[in-house]
Structure 1
Amino acid sequence: MQPFSRFLVYFLAVARHCSIRKAAEDLNIAGSAINRHILLGEQQLQTPLFERLPSGMRLTATGELLYGCAQRWVKDLDDLNRQIEDLKGIRHGQVDLLAPEALSRTFLPELVCRMKVSHPGVILNMTIRDNQSIPVALLAGKGDIALVLDPEDMRDLTVIARMSFPLGFICRPDHPLAKLPAIRLTQCAEYDMVVPEAPLALASVFTRLVDAGRVTPHVAARANNVQMIISLVTTGIGIGFLSYLDVMSEVRKGDLVFVPLLGPHVPHLTLALVHDRTRQLSRTTQVVENVIEEIMRLNMN
């Protein structure tokens, strides 16, 4: 279903490719026809939509405004088509899910497996983004629902479900700490540590905990990647400071042990399932939400 004018279709293609030539190749349309419709649109709006540069086409401020509106129109039409399919009883569809990289190792694969069993006709389009950019992308119509870590500004979003993950230290099963149910930071000071570095959010958390506890950690290595920290701990370099979310897979397999950190200043990592409060979700999207909520409940038990 394509209710949009040729101008809008051509405009979106040029904005996406920053080039009339590339837009023409994508749409299999003559570049002169695309250029003519763009010029007519600019004439009708009485303002330029693109800056014509030697390197290509760049949106003007007005063009950016139109592009944002057009993306929302396309998304709304997609939502409408999905809802129509729901009313017809069609048992298939697609759902666009935004999520941070931290969920790509355990949580998202489990979600895909569950959906494959319960709703094999539903396709999950998962886009991994920087956690801080996810709410903005969701409100811009680049996803149907999203999973966000430690959400801050939720004014325009509806929080469907939340769950918390403890912070702590990971170690090999043969490490002395592996026998403890929980631990304080002072008890870890004597052991070699693999410390998180920025841009990992846990880097600033670890610094605050060390300062508050007046502890001098014995740093064996620093890493700004969760998988690197896990690899270093697995090889015996030291214990590593992470959240349980980061190591769910390794803990379940018995490769590593997670020991929660005790203390008055120790926060929890919060995971929230959210959607744009202004959008009506399709029944297919609601099915995915229900499966995500089920995974959250199981992991909280």
Structure 2
Amino acid sequence: MSDPMIIRARVPAPVKQVRHALTDPDTLRVWLAEHVEVELPDRFEFWGRFTPEGDAPHQRLLHADDRTVRFAWTLDGVETTTEFAVEEDGPDAAIVSVSQSHFDMQEAMEESNVRGVLQTYWYLVLANLVEHFEGRALTPKPDFTSAELRAEVLIDAPPAKVYASLIDSEAVTRWFGYPIEIEPRVGGRYAMGGFDAEGEPAKILELETDRKMSVDWGPVGVGTWELEGSGGKTRLTLVQSGFDRTPYAGWLGSVSGLADLRRFVEMADWSPIWLS
């Protein structure tokens, strides 16, 4: 088995408060899952629409202390291991990490099993933990029981600024945290990893200044960003459609990216949530 995947994020709260958020059922229902039951040191379970294979709780608590929560999580018949860990980052901030076993990038690209969603799932979950402590509206959680993939966020910036941050290669690379090259025209290329990356780039199908962009991702369908301005703010609607199977890994990546996009265009002192 390969080394576990690890994601780290800076949270603007002291370690004690963050640890409470990682183990308090009421708080976990805000940023993690629809249903949560926690009774330390014996039980840590979550399930519901916003959880992969969330028809019932599939977790088994392995360890919990003042800085760590570790549990087994059975997905697609395989028992994986997940660990939350928290460490100080000064008196008023903490670093939260998620370590996840049994994640394989090739499986994620092929969408061959539900474990392929785990990387983008945990990015979205940690983004919502950060937003919870910042007092910001949370990024929409995916409904794993629905084939309609749709998310809406309200951004405190005019449509022109949001649009520019969606079509400019340098800007998108900054807030998404991954190299992306875009030819901002109908028929233009949209390449994750850049134009020299392996594989066929996506293609821009529609582009309306300050209003809309649709990108054809091939087998995983068409992604559309629509912008509607009002009172200096922008409602962004993201829709994924036209696929043969539900591409939750890629979908979650797009949705988790909305958290970074909002911060990027709203905050004068923007800095990424994520740590290397």
TM-score, length-normalised on structure 2?
A: 0.24
Relative contact order (C-alpha < 8 Å, sep 6+): which is higher? Answer: 1
Using the size of structure 1 for normalisation, the TM-score is 0.22
Larger proportion of helix = 1
Task: Decide which structure has the larger Cα Rg and report it.
Answer: 1
